[in-house]
């Protein structure tokens, strides 16, 4: 069997020998992860993780996937398996996901990231469109239809917040929404850097009745086939297979049944989703770190220099052990918060307001540290693998690119620091 089939990663020139490439298969990398997690996960979550991993192994084999393809083509099949999102049970749209919740979402993301990190990130953006629909469908048929299509992977979604002139200062939007006599809204303006922007069928768009006034923000579900929606692809060289868009809205008419939040409600709707969005990014960051470690640990145990496996040199084994310990620490912290969220939802059906406020700070703490850790672990593992880490023979290249972006999305590093330092002031005032 050729090596190309053994690891299913297409490359022009083989740099890593057959034996090591074979060992770095999806199956073995998952085994490494599972051996780390088996003693700390509850059986229902561990079993779900293993089931999701098995699905991806079969998918990789079925299509002889090389991870150079357009991953959007696999999403409907992933959706049928119930692996687009596991945050909810989705009973209201005829689904019955078990297990579901934040911990299940963590397992889903781990399995998906090990299969294809860029696909995991793209699917995450679709989930950002799912969450507002889940909260504001009000049993309106078209919203439930959109929700189901997104959750089952029939259609892709994107979320339109960032604008060319309004990034971190997202609340002061320049995109406008004007109410028509028939209760519909006319949207004009531009958005940028929307993950899935040029692939999405459904978009959740934020716009203000009055430019620069966040108190007049509305939230709208948009069918991207409507007149007035134009999306151009933005090239992000670090994630070349992910479609990121720049959208222009020209008199884009949104009928009343698609209005998720009228002007005045949009800002609250935007913030209510942020905690879960940031926790989703944390989970993705941790998954990327494990994925990078799984490659580097296998490689360092097999690659020989000076007649010895390089892991045995302190210069390799010790820093790798450090990266592993940091990743495990962050995994434990993330699991702990996921489990608390799941318990609260199970007991109360929703997250209490005070808890949600505190979660905002925790999510910022975890988001900022996990993004930094993911970047360090992915780069550190590349470095410890030498040329084998830098070439295109494995997924390390994808992991390196993605991990460099994670400090930007979902509120940049500085915005997280701003939130945290503001919280320190508040805590001091409580003394």
Sign of CA dihedral 158, 132, 118, 8: negative
Among 272, 232, 262, residue whose Cα is nearest residue 249: 232
The correct pick among 14, 47, 64, 168 for binding ligand FAD (CB under 6 A) is: 168
Write down how long the chain is: 431
Residue 123 lies near ligand FAD (rule: CB under 6 A): no
CB of 139 to ligand FAD, least distance (A): 27
Backbone angles phi, psi at 16, to 5 degrees: -105, 140
CB closer to ligand FAD out of 168 and 329: 168
Residue 364 lies near ligand FAD (rule: CB under 6 A): no
The correct pick among 131, 194, 364, 406 for binding ligand FAD (CB under 6 A) is: 194
CB of 125 to ligand FAD, least distance (A): 5
CB of 346 to ligand FAD, least distance (A): 30
CB of 195 to ligand FAD, least distance (A): 4
Cα first-last separation, the chain: 67
Size of the site for ligand FAD (CB under 6 A): 20
Residue 400 lies near ligand FAD (rule: CB under 6 A): no
CB closer to ligand FAD out of 11 and 193: 193
CB closer to ligand FAD out of 316 and 415: 415
CB closer to ligand FAD out of 320 and 415: 415
Among the candidate windows 96-104, 146-154, 393-401, 405-413, which touches ligand FAD by CB under 6 A? 405-413
CB closer to ligand FAD out of 337 and 405: 405
Residue 220 lies near ligand FAD (rule: CB under 6 A): no
Residues in CB range of 74: below 8 A, 6 or more apart: 59, 63, 65, 119
CB of 156 to ligand FAD, least distance (A): 11
CB atoms within 10 A of CB 330: 21
Residue 281 lies near ligand FAD (rule: CB under 6 A): no
State which of positions 227-256 bind ligand FAD (CB under 6 A).
236, 244
The correct pick among 76, 167, 317, 319 for binding ligand FAD (CB under 6 A) is: 167
| Contact indicator for 205, 220 with CB cutoff of 8 Å | yes
CB of 8 to ligand FAD, least distance (A): 25
CB of 354 to ligand FAD, least distance (A): 27
CB closer to ligand FAD out of 59 and 159: 159
The correct pick among 414, 420, 424, 427 for binding ligand FAD (CB under 6 A) is: 414
CB of 182 to ligand FAD, least distance (A): 28
| Buried-state track 287-324, b at ≥16 Cβ within 10 A, e below 16 | bbbbbbbbbbbbbbebbeeeeeebbeeeebbeebeebb
Residue 174 lies near ligand FAD (rule: CB under 6 A): no
Residue facing ligand FAD at closest CB distance: 167
CB of 83 to ligand FAD, least distance (A): 20
The correct pick among 101, 218, 401, 409 for binding ligand FAD (CB under 6 A) is: 409
CB atoms within 10 A of CB 35: 9
Residue 355 lies near ligand FAD (rule: CB under 6 A): no
**Binding residues for ligand FAD (CB under 6 A):** 125, 158-162, 167-168, 193-195, 236, 244, 405, 408-409, 412, 414-415, 418
């Amino acid at each position: 069997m050729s090596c190309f089939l053994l690891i299913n990663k297409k490359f022009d020139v083989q740099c890593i020998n057959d034996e090591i490439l074979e060992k770095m298969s999806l199956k073995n990398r998952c085994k490494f992860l599972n051996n780390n997690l088996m003693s700390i996960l509850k059986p229902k979550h561990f079993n779900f993780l293993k089931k999701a991993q098995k699905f991806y192994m079969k998918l990789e084999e079925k299509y002889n996937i090389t991870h150079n393809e357009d991953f959007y083509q696999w999403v409907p099949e992933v959706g049928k398996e119930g692996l687009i999102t596991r945050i909810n049970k989705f009973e209201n749209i005829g689904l019955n996901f078990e297990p579901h919740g934040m911990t299940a979402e963590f397992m889903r993301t781990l399995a998906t990231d090990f299969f294809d990190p860029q696909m995991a990130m793209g699917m995450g953006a679709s989930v950002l469109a799912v969450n507002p629909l889940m909260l504001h469908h009000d049993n309106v048929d078209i919203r439930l239809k959109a929700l189901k299509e997104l959750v089952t992977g029939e259609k892709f979604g994107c979320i339109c917040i960032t604008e060319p002139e309004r990034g971190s200062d997202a609340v002061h939007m320049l995109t406008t929404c004007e109410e028509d006599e028939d209760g519909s809204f006319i949207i004009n303006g531009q958005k940028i850097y929307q993950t899935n922007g040029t692939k999405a069928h459904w978009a959740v768009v934020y716009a203000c009745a009055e430019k620069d006034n966040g108190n007049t923000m509305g939230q709208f579900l948009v069918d991207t086939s409507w007149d007035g929606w134009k999306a151009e692809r933005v090239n992000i060289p670090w994630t070349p297979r992910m479609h990121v868009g720049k959208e222009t809205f020209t008199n884009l008419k949104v009928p009343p049944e698609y209005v998720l939040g009228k002007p005045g409600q949009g800002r609250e709707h935007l913030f209510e989703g942020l905690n879960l969005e940031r926790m989703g990014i944390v989970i993705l960051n941790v998954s990327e770190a494990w994925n990078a470690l799984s490659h580097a640990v296998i490689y360092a145990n097999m690659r020989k220099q000076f007649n010895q496996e390089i892991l045995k040199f302190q210069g390799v084994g010790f820093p790798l052990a450090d990266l592993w310990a940091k990743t495990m620490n962050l995994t434990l912290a993330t699991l702990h918060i996921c489990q608390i969220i799941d318990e609260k939802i199970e007991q109360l059906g929703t997250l209490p307001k005070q808890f949600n406020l505190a979660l905002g700070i925790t999510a910022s703490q975890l988001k900022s540290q996990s993004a930094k850790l993911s970047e360090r672990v992915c780069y550190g593992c590349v470095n410890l693998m030498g040329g084998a880490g830098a070439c295109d023979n494995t997924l390390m290249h994808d992991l390196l690119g993605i991990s460099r972006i994670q400090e930007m999305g979902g509120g940049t590093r500085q915005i997280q620091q701003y939130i945290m330092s503001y919280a320190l002031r508040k805590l001091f005032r409580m003394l």
